[in-house]
Structure 1
Amino acid sequence: MSFSVYGSAPWKDTEELECTMVIPEAPNAFSFCFSAPSGAWFDFAPGQFLTLGLPMPHGVEWRTYTISSSPSRHLSLTVTVKAQEGSVASRWMIEHLKPGMRIKAMGPGGVFCLKDAKPRKYLFVSAGSGVTPMMSMATYLWDTGVQPDVVMINCARTPTDLIFRSRLEHMASRTPGLKLQFVVREDDPYRTWTGYKGRFNALMLGLMAPDYLEREIFCCGPDGFMTSVREMLYSLGYDMEHYHQESFHAPAETAAEVPVHDDVVPSDDNMAEVEFVASGKSATCRETDTLLQVAKSSGLNIPSGCTFGVCGTCKVKKTAGDVVMVHNGGISDEDIEEGYVLACCSKPIGKVAIDI
């Protein structure tokens, strides 16, 4: 007696997908598992996406979701969806997409993915549902049967919001090559959290992955989160040729569609000017100098403590101009919106005025 576990050919997007399971992962987050009715198997690169045709009441809506399952497990394909505020399509999936339903799909596609299974040192950094491609990549590396070397950092609002936490912890408990690090903004009520808490920052990165300069980094999450990660890596001297990122917007299907980030990176070759408004002084400097350094060299005293953006002692009001500030949690988002910066970790771009 014999039977085949695979169909005769890989799945083509001319065939509809059938929903086979719906799995709750976290508040407002569910995994939807699909199979091919013909028995065809799935072929894609870990980290790629699928575009689903959702039969909503007003007509078919096409939405793109990262595949959270691994191509090493060919018989099914899974996307994990979190309904964000104001989301229509994802909310429809959570409320209406059930096992047995068939939907149209296009893909897979995308360039944010592991290119091969060669042993490398990886760092996966994600926030919220940005963990979905990282889950695919981590599972794929696990399934190769070769000891992985992965540090995986996932950030969320609360411990309950950490998608795939239990599954990842089980994988990490079976191999020393997968190291998990979680960061949350708030505790869950009546439950103790002993891990990292606050805004993910350079200090945390150094503790979580001391050899981050040697690792290939993949990052996925909200735009603001990814911008802060890039700024952090720039300031730490990371070779950005080894940095890759996805976003919650329509993923790039080809290398030509990958957006070029217009990040402002301070340079030793560029000069800047800092005006100290209350003191009536100004000074020229390099973009790589901090406001604190420029103030001290100008004979002015800005109270300071840690000098790396934690304590908040050197908070000053910026009244004009732009700075690049890479802090470690010593200033609130509300203060930043009001124009405050930390002098110890703020570098002037062009002409800047501060109220001292």
Structure 2
Amino acid sequence: MNASPPTVSPDPASPRLAGNLPLWNPEVDDALIVREIRNETADVKTFVLAPKDPCLFRYAPGQFLTLDLDIGGESVNRCYTIASAPTRPHTLAITVKRVPHGPVSNFLHDHVKVGSVLRAVGPMGDFSCLIQGTPAQTPDRAPKYLFLSGGSGITPLMSMARTFHDLGEARDIVFVHAARSPADIIFRAELELMARNQPSFRFAPVCEADSAFEPWHGLRGRLNLGLLHHVAPDYAQREIFVCGPSPFMAAVREMLKDAGFDMARHHEESFDFAELAKAEPEVAAEVIGAEALEAVERALEAPAVTTYTVEFIKQKRTIECRSDMFVLDAARRAGVRLPSSCSKGLCGTCKSKLIDGTVDMKHGGGIRQREIDAGMALLCCSKPTSNLVVDR
């Protein structure tokens, strides 16, 4: 008599591994479930996200995601670079450093748990070594790479490194990461593993000080030209990608310029998006590019056009805005501080409710159609067509 075969229960993960899964579409369902939370350092956490219904993420390594969070009853948008690799499309991960008094990072660290639901839009952005048409993808322009990161600015470069590693592409990469101490080196073990797996991948962490229980015997101090010559003597032949706090990126930019580096092969990304809300126009031009600000200057030189009033009810401020100026630019010039980042209609950080009035908005994907229908607008890419009342 033959025994009956054992009963096998289906693995709950199996539907997520089906070969015909659709792509994630935030226009249809923008909810992402927190599947896992990893402690990277004492003040850095990684949040692994997945859609409720099985589907796949598609993005270029280095792109970012915009979270739409409800904090204290108020909607807050914040951008985070994707740290995971598109070669593992079933989940997506963001890595967040706790910022003292930072409302969003502290909310994520203290209140978001496994099973929490986060709403998001994206992925977006053009900071990537693998976006079609960028100089970095032209083989004769990018035989070798140099990644320079500071603090949690490591995330987009980590996404790029993970992608090459997963694909088994032994690219010639020197990855230099600046940290306060060895305990603050994000993804240290994984980067060291990549270096062991691929001899053409070199990881060079630089620390300013020892940790409490770990003296540092590696490269010490801050990134400078002498140190760069030591870790990548052929840096002038490499495509350079930089991400970190604004002072870090500014210092790298000036160092490379002074060394005569071809800045057409230098690529940088804003690290702290919220920081741009405080930036003066001169600083913003360095970080987001001068095109938007030059457009403002051209608008100011144009013949007289209609001028409208813009009332920010929460700030109890009313300003004037010409019909050929973006509302965000007019607000900045009037000293009104508003959350913003990309200034290109991509990230959604400046999304605001129009209580009254109309605008001409040409966005880059940072707002959903249903939000537009509900009276929301991106102030960075909206020009007034009437007097406005804004819920800010």
| Superposition TM-score, scaled by structure 1 size | 0.68
3-state SS of 2:148 partner: strand
SS in 1 for 2:273: coil
Give the secondary structure class of the aligned counterpart of 1:227: helix
Q: Give the Å deviation of 1:249.
A: 3.8
The separation in 2 between residues aligned to 1:236 and 1:93, in whole angstroms, is 41
Please point out which of 74, 81, 106 is paired with 2:89: 74
Equivalent in 140, 150, 161 of residue 163 of structure 2: 140
Letter in 2 for 1:106: V
Determine helix, strand or coil for the equivalent of 1:160. Answer: helix
How far did 1:104 drift?
1.0
Distance across 2 between alignment mates of 1:160 and 1:63: 27
1:258 Cα deviation from its structure 2 partner? 3.8
Residue equivalent to 2:358: none
Distance in structure 1 (CA, Å) of the matches to 2:204 and 2:220: 11
Give ranges in structure 1 of 5+ residues lacking alignment.
262-356
Following the alignment from structure 2 to structure 1, what is the Cα–Cα distance between the partners of residues 44 and 18? Answer: 30
1:112 aligns with 2:127: yes
Partner of 1:56: 71
Q: 2:181 touches 2:216 (CA, 8 Å); kept in 1?
A: no
1:21·1:34 contact (CA, 8 Å) conserved in 2? Answer: yes
Matched letter for residue 198 of structure 1: G
2:5 matches 1:5? no
The DSSP-based 3-state class of the residue aligned with 1:20 is strand
Distance 1:213 1:260, change over 3 A: farther
One-letter identity of the residue aligned with 2:215 = T
Query: Aligned runs of 1:1-356 on 2, under 5 Å?
Result: 4-6=17-19, 8-14=21-27, 15=29, 16-114=31-129, 115=131, 120-250=143-273, 258-260=288-290
Residues 209 and 216 in structure 2, CA contact (< 8 A), matched pair in contact too: no
* Residue matched to 1:308: none
Provide the C-alpha distance between the structure 2 equivalents of 1:166 and 1:154, rounded to a whole number of angstroms. Answer: 13
Distance 2:67 2:20 in 1: 22
Give every structure 1 segment of 4 or more consecutive aligned residues whose post-TM-superposition deviation is greater than 4 Å: 1-4, 116-119
Q: CA deviation at 1:53?
A: 1.4
Q: Is this contact kept in 2: 1:47–1:133, CA < 8 A?
A: yes
CA distance in 2, matches of 1:248, 1:92: 19
- Whole-angstrom CA distance in 2 between matches of 1:96 and 1:5: 32
Q: Secondary structure at the match of 2:21?
A: coil
Q: What amino acid is the match of 1:69?
A: S
Of stretches 209-218 and 192-201 in structure 1, the one that deviates more from structure 2 is 192-201
- SS for the counterpart of 1:99 is coil
Displacement of 1:171 after TM fit? 1.3
Question: Judging changes above 3 Å, is the alpha-carbon distance between structure 1 residues 6 and 84 closer, same or farther for their aligned structure 2 residues?
Answer: farther
Alignment-mate amino acid for residue 25 of structure 2: K
Question: How many residue pairs get matched?
Answer: 257
Q: Given residue 289 of structure 2, which amino acid in structure 1 is its aligned partner?
A: P
CA distance in 1, matches of 2:201, 2:169: 12
Q: Which residue identity is paired with 1:105? A: A
RMSD (CA atoms) = 2.1
Please tell me whether the aligned partners of residues 7 and 41 of structure 1 are also in contact (alpha carbons under 8 angstroms): no
> Distance in 1 between the 2:290 and 2:20 partners?
41
- Quick one: distance in 1 between partners of 2:185 and 2:272? 21
Contact 2:182–2:214 (8 Å) recurs in 1 = no
2:24 aligned partner, one-letter code: W
Q: Tell me the CA shift for residue 64 of structure 1.
A: 0.5
Distance 2:245 2:23 in 1: 33
Against the structure 1 CA distance between its residues 92 and 20, is the aligned structure 2 distance closer, same or farther, given a 3 Å change threshold? same
Amino acid at match of 2:114: P
Give CA-to-partner distance per residue, 1:9-47, whole Å, 9 cap, x none: 110113211110000001210000001111110000000
Per-residue deviation, residues 260-294 of structure 1 (Å, max 9, x unmatched): 49xxxxxxxxxxxxxxxxxxxxxxxxxxxxxxxxx
- Larger helix share, 1 or 2: 2
Question: Distance between the aligned counterparts of 1:177 and 1:13, measured in 2?
Answer: 38
CA distance in 2, matches of 1:258, 1:242: 17
Change (3 A) 1:100 1:7: farther
Letter in 1 for 2:191: L
CA shift for structure 1 position 7: 5.2
